[in-house]
């Protein structure tokens, strides 16, 4: 009887309540988001403002793909947990099923007489009967886990197909967005003399901050960055906060955001574009001016859609992030959510008031993101 009690205790600890429903709910919600994004992509062709419509479409795809990967990540973790429990307790499971079979047979035949006499026989029978409900509970738990396992495997198979369709959709949306922006006629003309002066400033500046400061007038008003709401410029998470040291001990006066591959970067505030181009060691950089004397730096992009002198609204496309060296299938199978949490690419965000950096956490962000 002690053997049976120990077995039940071990299995009670090993089998936790199933939560495959949570992963399934996430996957279903993600599939709905991707379906809605596909509808937006179809309707964007006839929209009065195709750039705005396609921007919303790309963001909808990013949200749906992120949610789907998170759902599949949880499904895979739960599947591994169930398989580990089943493999670890394989011997105990065999004993459990044997005990159930023995108990069932004894219920249908005459109980054997205990060597200790009638009293011991009664006690043994009473103890055995007391364990039957617990045995049945563990079998019910096993049955639920096996059902969960089957559901999770099916969920992952269908989820991969949905990811493939969503990945195709977002590629199409990004391409159409790029084409729509290129077709616009409202971009300011480039002036060769100004371009040469900016290039000279880029080449002479030792740091990104020094280059940004060179764009500021020597004298003039220093208005506050903005009085309105801010929107996080990219789908992602804050990897390192203001003045937080990285693995090498380097501190930066801004945020480093982990992003999906080829994520769309948008303007966090209404602003004029002071610079958009390559900066050595920083990739493509966009510097925005929300108010005279304040700047927002976005560095690490792979491409930019804007030009110097252009005015952008909050949420208007600025450019696209790059991509990691993963193959298409590896990206598709990346259940960690873009190489970890996001992680494939990083965008640097710095806010400057005059020539002084400001902690982005103090901005009035909408829709979360500052934590």
Q: Would you state the pLDDT for residue 244?
A: 94
Q: Would you state the pLDDT for residue 131?
A: 53
User: How many beta carbons lie within 10 A of that of residue 215, not counting itself?
Assistant: 16
**Residue 290, both tokens:** 């929300």
Q: What is the pTM of this model?
A: 0.69
**C-alpha to C-alpha distances, 14 to 29, 114, 137, 139, 144, nearest whole angstrom:** 30, 33, 14, 13, 14
215 and 319 Cβ atoms separated by less than 8 Å:
no
| Complete domains list, the chain, with CATH | 2-183 (1.10.287), 192-366 (2.70.70.10)
How far apart CA 286 and CA 264 sit, in angstroms, is 13
Q: Angle CA(116)–CA(122)–CA(128) in degrees, nearest 5?
A: 105
Per-residue pLDDT of 51-92, as tens digits, reads: 888 888 888 888 888 888 887 787 778 778 877 777 776 666
Q: Would you state the pLDDT for residue 199?
A: 66
How far apart CA 320 and CA 305 sit, in angstroms, is 8
284 and 319 Cβ atoms separated by less than 8 Å:
yes
Q: Would you state the pLDDT for residue 369?
A: 45
User: Averaged in consecutive runs of 10 residues, what is the pLDDT profile of the chain (371 residues)?
Assistant: 45 45 71 82 77 87 83 79 73 62 52 49 51 59 68 72 82 87 66 57 65 67 66 92 90 93 93 90 90 90 91 94 64 43 76 90 74 50
Q: Would you state the pLDDT for residue 368?
A: 45
Query: Rounded to the nearest 10 degrees, how much is the dihedral formed by the CA atoms of 306, 238, 323, 283?
Result: 50
Nearest to 79 by CA among 135, 24, 136: 24
How far apart CA 314 and CA 366 sit, in angstroms, is 11
| Interstrand relation of 356-358 and 237-240 (parallel, antiparallel or unpaired) | unpaired
Q: Would you state the pLDDT for residue 203?
A: 58
Q: Would you state the pLDDT for residue 92?
A: 62
Helices (H), the chain: 2-14, 20-44, 50-88, 90-108, 118-183, 192-204, 208-214, 328-332
Measured in residues, the chain has a length of: 371
Q: Would you state the pLDDT for residue 16?
A: 45
Q: Would you state the pLDDT for residue 313?
A: 92
The b-or-e profile of 133-170 (16+ CB within 10 A means b, else e) is ebbeebeebbeebeebbebbeebbeebeebbeebbebb
Q: Angle CA(60)–CA(61)–CA(66) in degrees, nearest 5?
A: 100
């Amino acid at each position: 009887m002690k053997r049976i009690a120990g077995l039940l205790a071990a299995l009670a600890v090993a089998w936790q309540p199933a939560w495959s429903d949570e992963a399934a709910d996430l996957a279903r919600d993600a599939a709905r988001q991707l379906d809605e994004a596909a509808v937006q992509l179809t309707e964007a062709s006839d929209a009065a403002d195709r750039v705005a419509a396609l921007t919303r479409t790309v963001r909808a795809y990013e949200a749906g793909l992120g949610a789907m990967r998170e759902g599949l990540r949880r499904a895979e973790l739960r599947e591994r947990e169930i398989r580990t429990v089943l493999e670890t307790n394989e011997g105990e499971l065999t004993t459990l099923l044997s005990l159930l079979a023995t108990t069932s047979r004894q219920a249908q035949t005459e109980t054997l007489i205990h060597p200790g006499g009638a009293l011991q026989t009664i006690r043994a029978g009473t103890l055995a009967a007391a364990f039957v409900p617990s045995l049945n509970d563990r079998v019910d738990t096993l049955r639920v886990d096996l059902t969960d396992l089957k559901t999770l495997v099916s969920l992952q198979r269908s989820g991969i197909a949905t990811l493939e369709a969503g990945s195709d959709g977002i590629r199409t949306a990004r391409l159409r967005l790029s084409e729509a922006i290129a077709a616009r006629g409202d971009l300011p003309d480039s002036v060769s003399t100004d371009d040469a002066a900016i290039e000279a400033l880029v080449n002479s500046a030792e740091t990104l901050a020094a280059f940004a400061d060179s764009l500021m007038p020597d004298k003039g008003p220093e208005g506050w960055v903005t009085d309105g709401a801010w929107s996080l410029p990219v789908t992602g998470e804050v990897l390192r906060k203001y003045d937080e040291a990285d693995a090498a001990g380097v501190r930066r006066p801004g945020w480093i955001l982990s992003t999906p591959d080829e994520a769309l970067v948008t303007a966090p505030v209404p602003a004029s574009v002071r610079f958009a181009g390559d900066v050595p060691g920083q990739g493509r950089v966009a510097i925005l001016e929300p108010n005279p004397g304040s700047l927002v730096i976005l560095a690490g992009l792979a491409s930019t859609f804007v030009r110097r002198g252009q005015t952008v609204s909050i949420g208007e496309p600025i450019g696209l992030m790059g991509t990691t060296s993963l193959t298409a299938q590896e990206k598709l199978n990346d259940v960690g959510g873009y190489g970890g949490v996001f992680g494939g690419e990083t965008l640097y965000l710095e806010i400057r008031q005059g020539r002084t950096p400001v902690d982005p956490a103090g901005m009035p962000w909408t829709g979360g993101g500052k934590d």
